[in-house]
A and B are shown apart, each in its own frame.
Chain A
Amino acid sequence: MSALAEAPASKAPRRITSWHLLLNNRLATAGLVLLGLIALLILLVPILPLPDPDATAPADRLKPLLTAGHLLGTDQLGRDILSRLLWGTRISIAVGFAATLIAALIGSAIGIVAGYAGGRTDNAMMRGIDMLMAFPYILLALAIVAALGPGLMNALYAIAVVNIPFFARNVRGVTLGYVHREFVDAARLSGKGNLSIILTEVLPNVLPVIIITMSTTAGWMILETAGLSFLGLGAQPPQADLGSMLGEGRAQLFTAPHVSIVPGVMIFFIVISLNVLGDGVRDVLDPRLRSGALARPGPVTEVASGRAMPANAVADAALSMAGLETGFRRGGAVVPAVCGVSLHVKPGECLGLIGESGSGKSVTALSVMGLVASPPGLICNGAVYLGNEDVLAMPETRLIASRGSRVAYVFQDPLTTLHPMYPVGRQVEEAIAAHQSIGAAACRERAVALLDKVGIPEARERAKHYPHQLSGGQRQRVGIAMALANDPDVIVADEPTTALDVTVQARILELLRDLQRERGMALLFITHDFGVVSEICDRVAVMKDGEIVETGETRAVLANPQHAYTKRLIACVPELGTGERFLERVAGLFAGGKEQAS
């Protein structure tokens, strides 16, 4: 409910932050200011007291810069360069932007239809686009202008056509990602037709990509317009545009360099300002970049310098956390995720850490080896003892060396944690080689032995397979083999069976339990499933909103939970054999508490 109350308040400032984000990027701001100045100038051109750009005066030809009456001098026909420059910039920018708009409109339409329709339509459209792309762009533009005849409008069409594939390909790629999303199916079931789905469901999601592509290609288009005019295929004399000014000045490059340098500098300013601004716009609009993909996290989570370091309470524990507090920096404040967690696991013991989503269990697990991405992560207080050594006080190199050798992790989805391009055997070898200097052949033997140990049949053959050739259960076995590679004291397993089917889950739990008993390892097992906890854990800690509310022997906690939250959580777990009585039980639990329905 509190989330509901806060939501509208945070909505208004969000729109401003997009703008702020853009202004925070200094390069983009510089580009914006420069572009704004140029835009202002060319808008004011008709009312500025400028001489006629096309009026020739052979007597005044090739005057240098800063001549009285001609601030930027005159060209080979005595025309005022400043006037021609401003009028020319106006035309170049207009043509460039018009071409961008046309290319974006046609290209995006092709891309969205091809991506949405798929199959033969997609194939036919994209092969057409491929043909367009196969020509060098300037050659294609030349061919189009040659066919239509030289002139500014024809140059505009040529540039637009040349750039259609760029938009079509980008937009098709993004559309493909949305077409198979569930909300599109849902819209179809709500009675929407294809056109309506394209326009109202897919287009709003694709639009940011179209804008990003436009902002990054506009500069390029202006350059291409100038290129065609330079070759004499765009603006025709006496009309000035930046490309034709460059072309005309070329002959005087050695006697009067300013005639070509001035339009050259203008092109440079326009294109560079558009490009840096385009990059800035992309950073703001692209949700992936916005969520911090550009911020490079450090190798170790940042630890607050003045943190409280409680002493190790359990001396014989393999891993012990004391008063651990981890948060995330947002703006100036630190939003806490883990608030004063103290836990310990002894050798040969399995501790279950259970909680609902957002309770902070994964952040706790990652804090152990300083794996929380920083920025924005920050360990504010507390200590993590491995044996008797505080992990958070270790020098960086030693902490990194301890990862995998003393504490190893097994993650939820083995498909995303295994590298798709390497055979699984090689990935296990890599895990061994990271901490042990043994020969390649010995390493390979160890890897095969490990894969065999975790129950992969025909391990020697399977080691050559890629992750996608293995089933989900086998992939998780490979993940466990990698964790075991260096005989760690502690294994942290973060929801290792959540992505698996129940029959496979049962076998993986059995494997983990056997390995743990055999090797006397400590196992910190994170899950949201009480059934799994009862299968594998000796002790269990229940986590809620970043705090541990209850700890104890698994059986005792499950049979006789002390904390109200634990009681409620256990009561909500459906069990086989309860049948319809389950809903009666739950109904009693939530009766009178309808405002809690969330």
Chain B
Amino acid sequence: MTVSAIQIRDLSKTFGGGRSLLGKARHEVRAVKSVSLDVASGETLAVVGESGSGKSTLARMLVGLEAPTAGSLMIGGKDAGALRREGPRAFGKMIQYVFQDPVASLNPRKTIRDILDTPLKLLCGYEAARRTARMRELLDAVQMPEDTLTRYPHEFSGGQAQRIAIARALAAEAEIIVLDEPVSALDVSVQAQVLLLLRDLKVRFGLSYLFISHDLAVVEAISDRVAVMYFGEVVETAPAARLFANPGHAYTQRLVASAPRIRRE
């Protein structure tokens, strides 16, 4: 293994806290408590946990939308604090993010061309002709027709919108992508197609994924390793197959037992 795509050491995030003007302690929420994780280059690490377990806060810290309270964060071998000081562009070129609700992540008043143009222009610095060519390549990669460019987000179904959002993440040419519940809002057949697309893109562009989900079966299908989060802490990390066959932590056992299964007998 060469350089880790993501290296997290004792990362913490606390919301609120401190003291008010009158010296009264404010209510404090420790969303992420001293988490350490590694994502090797080319690997898919899944983070599972229930709502409120701190998965999304962790993801937002990784892409620089949230500043960590403590701990260190290395992305592609560079310190995240240094990247943050360089501004949003430095961050965007290293790591990208795919949101849970694809329709909400696309500005309703912009065409798909405008949406895809921004990262190509600001992050990659391509000139107009090259941007147009690149947009075509990207749409082709996510299997969308070319006339997509002139349309508005509300004209697409959830699955199509998620493909566009993935194309936008790819446009930045970052090799690390954080996927925050990318298929939770989709119907099962569309979900399967998007998972398939994600796997193909990973091989084709040599990507590393941090895949956040609450659905254990989806996680098992796509990830190499799984980290289980519970109340802001990582309670267990193991290869996917081992974790679900033989969960170690009590919470993981409960999670695996609660997952709805199709009983055919």
Q: Is the CB of B264 within 8 A of A558?
A: yes
The smallest C-beta distance from B248 to any residue of chain A, in angstroms, reads 16
- Known interface pairs A192-B88, A555-B263; A186-B168 also in contact (CB < 8 Å): yes
Let me know if A503 and B255 touch, CB within 8 A: yes
Which residues of chain A come closer than 8 Å to B106, judged between CB atoms?
A: 183, 186
- B260 A532 Cβ-Cβ under 8 A: yes
Contact A570/B256 with A188-B88, A357-B187, A576-B217 known, Cβ cut-off 8 Å = no
Contact with B along A286-298 (1 / 0, CB 8 A): 0000000000000
Residue among A192, A531, A568, A576 with most chain B CB within 10 A: A576
By a CB distance below 8 angstroms, the chain B residues around A459 are none
Mark out the residues of chain B between 207 and 257 whose CB falls within 8 Å of any chain A CB in the assembled complex: 214-218, 220-222, 240-241, 244-245, 254-257
Flag if B217 contacts A535 (CB, 8 Å): no
Taking the closest CB of chain A, its distance from the CB of B147, in whole angstroms, is 8
Cβ contacts under 8 Å, B107 to chain A:
183, 187, 201, 204-205
How many Å lie between the Cα of A534 and that of B220 in the bound state?
21
A597 at the interface (CB under 8 A from B): yes
Q: A190-B122, A555-B265 are in contact. Are A531 and B99 (CB under 8 A)?
A: no
Q: Is the CB of B262 within 8 A of A534?
A: yes
- Which of chain B's residues 146-198 have a Cβ closer than 8 Å to chain A? 151, 155, 157-160, 163, 165, 168, 171-172, 187-193, 195-197
Q: Report the stretch among A378-386, A441-449, A585-593 that lies at the interface.
A: A585-593
Contacts of A580 in B (CB 8 A): 221
Residues of A near B105 (CB, < 8 A) are 182-183, 185-186
CA distance A572 to B262 in the complex (A): 12
Q: Which residues from B are CB-within-8-Å of A573? A: 188, 217, 262
Cβ contact within 8 Å between B222 and A583 = yes
| A532, B262: Cα distance in complex, Å | 8
Q: What is the minimal beta-carbon distance from A139 to any residue of chain B, in angstroms?
A: 32
Task: Return A14 CB to nearest CB of chain B, in Å.
Answer: 11
Q: Give A284 Cβ to nearest chain B Cβ, in Å.
A: 17
Task: Tell yes or no: A461 within 8 A of B by CB.
Answer: no
Q: Which residues of chain A from 483 to 542 have any CB-CB distance to chain B below 8 Å in the complex?
A: 501-506, 528-532, 534-535
The answer to whether residues A586 and B192 also contact, given A558-B264, A574-B221 and a CB cut-off of 8 A, is yes
Contacts between chains A and B (CB distance < 8 A), count = 189
Closest to B114 in A: A200
Q: B256 and A576: CB pair below 8 A? A: yes
Instruction: Give Cα distance in the complex from A185 to B178, angstroms.
Output: 13
Say if the beta carbon of A120 comes within 8 Å of chain B.
no
Q: Assess whether B123 is interfacial by the CB under 8 Å rule.
A: yes
User: How near does chain A come to B5, taking the closest CB pair, in angstroms?
Assistant: 17
A305 at the interface (CB under 8 A from B): no
Tell me, yes or no, whether A181 is within 8 Å of chain B by CB. yes
Residue in chain B with minimal CB distance to A507: B258
CA distance A568 to B191 in the complex (A): 13
Chain A contacts of B259 at CB under 8 A?
502, 531, 576
Other-chain contact of B97, A186, A204, A582 (Cβ < 8 Å): A186
Determine the interface band of chain A, counting residues with CB < 8 A from chain B: 35 or more
Residue of A356, A502, A569, A578 with most partner-chain B CB within 10 A? A502
Which residue of chain A has its CB nearest to the CB of B260?
A: A531
Flag if B187 contacts A528 (CB, 8 Å).
yes
B16 interface hit (Cβ, 8 Å): no
Instruction: List, in ascending order, chain B residues with CB within 8 A of A204's CB.
Output: 107, 109-110
| In the complex, residue of chain B having the shortest beta-carbon distance to the beta carbon of A201 | B107
Q: Which of B69-122 contact A (CB under 8 A)?
A: 87-89, 91-92, 96-97, 99-101, 104-110, 118-119, 122
If the complex has contacts A7-B151, A582-B221, A597-B143, are A191 and B258 also in contact, measured as CB distance less than 8 A? Answer: no
Contact residues in A for B143 (Cβ distance below 8 Å): 594, 597
Residues of A close to B168: CB separation below 8 A: 186, 190
Give bound CA distance, A570 to B241, whole Å.
22
Distance in angstroms from B101 CB to nearest chain A CB is 6
Task: Contact check, B260 vs A529: say whether CB atoms are below 8 A apart.
Answer: yes
A579-B241 contact, Cβ under 8 Å, with A186-B99, A574-B220: yes
Cβ–Cβ contact B187 & A575, under 8 A: no
Shortest Cβ gap from B137 to chain A (Å): 17
Contact at A189–B96, with CB atoms within 8 Å? yes
Q: Is the CB of B187 within 8 A of A356?
A: yes
Query: With the chains together, A579 CA to B222 CA distance in Å?
Result: 8
Within the assembled complex, what's the spacing in Å between the Cα atoms of A193 and B58? 23
Residues of A within 8 A of B11 (CB): none
Q: Are A189 and B92 closer than 8 Å at their CB atoms?
A: yes
* Nearest residue, chain A, Cβ from B198: A583
Kindly state the separation between the CA atoms of A572 and B261 in the bound complex, as whole angstroms. Answer: 13
Chain A residues, Cβ within 8 Å of B38: none
The answer to whether A559 touches B196, judged by C-beta atoms less than 8 angstroms apart, is no
Partner of A575, one of B50, B104, B119, B261: B261
Determine how close the nearest CB of chain B comes to the CB of A392; give it in whole angstroms: 30
Closest to B194 in A: A597
A33 CB to closest chain B CB (Å) equals 31
Whole-angstrom CA separation of A464 from B137 in the bound complex: 59
Question: Are B97 and A576 neighbours in the complex by a CB distance under 8 Å?
Answer: no
Contact indicator B99/A185 (Cβ below 8 Å): yes
Interchain CB contact (< 8 A) of A576 among B63, B189, B244 = B244
Q: Which of B64, B118, B143, B165 has the most chain A CB within a 10 Å cutoff? A: B118
Closest A residue, CB atoms, query B160: A598
With contacts A572-B192, A576-B261 taken as known, whether A189 is within 8 angstroms of B63 at the C-beta atoms is yes
- In whole Å, how far is B216's beta carbon from the nearest beta carbon of chain A? 6
- Closest Cβ–Cβ distance, residue A532 to chain B (whole Å): 5
Given A7-B155, A182-B105 in contact, is the A568-B221 Cβ separation under 8 Å?
no
Q: How far is the CB of B71 from chain A (nearest CB, A)?
A: 22
Complex CA gap A598/B190 in Å reads 7
By a CB distance below 8 angstroms, the chain B residues around A506 are 257-258, 260
Which residues of chain A in 90-127 are interfacial with respect to chain B, using CB atoms and an 8 Å cutoff? Answer: none
Given A505-B258, A576-B220, A578-B221, the answer on whether A558 and B263 have CB atoms closer than 8 Å is yes
* B222 / chain A contacts, CB cutoff of 8 Å: 583
Chain B residues with Cβ below 8 Å from A501 are 50-51, 214
Distance to closest chain A CB from B251 (angstroms)? 9
Q: Is B159 a contact partner of A598 (Cβ separation < 8 A)?
A: yes
Which residues of B sit under 8 angstroms from A188, Cβ to Cβ?
65, 88
30 contacts between A and B (CB under 8 A): A3-B155, A182-B100, A183-B108, A185-B99, A186-B99, A186-B105, A187-B118, A188-B65, A189-B172, A190-B119, A191-B92, A191-B172, A193-B87, A200-B110, A204-B107, A204-B110, A472-B51, A503-B258, A505-B258, A532-B260, A558-B262, A568-B189, A574-B191, A574-B195, A576-B217, A576-B261, A583-B195, A586-B192, A589-B192, A597-B163
9 closest pairs, A vs B, by CB? A531-B260, A191-B122, A574-B217, A501-B50, A356-B187, A559-B264, A182-B105, A582-B221, A506-B258
List 14 extra interface pairs beyond A3-B155, A528-B187, A590-B192, CB under 8 A: A7-B151, A183-B104, A188-B88, A190-B172, A191-B118, A503-B50, A535-B263, A559-B265, A574-B195, A576-B259, A582-B220, A583-B199, A586-B192, A590-B196
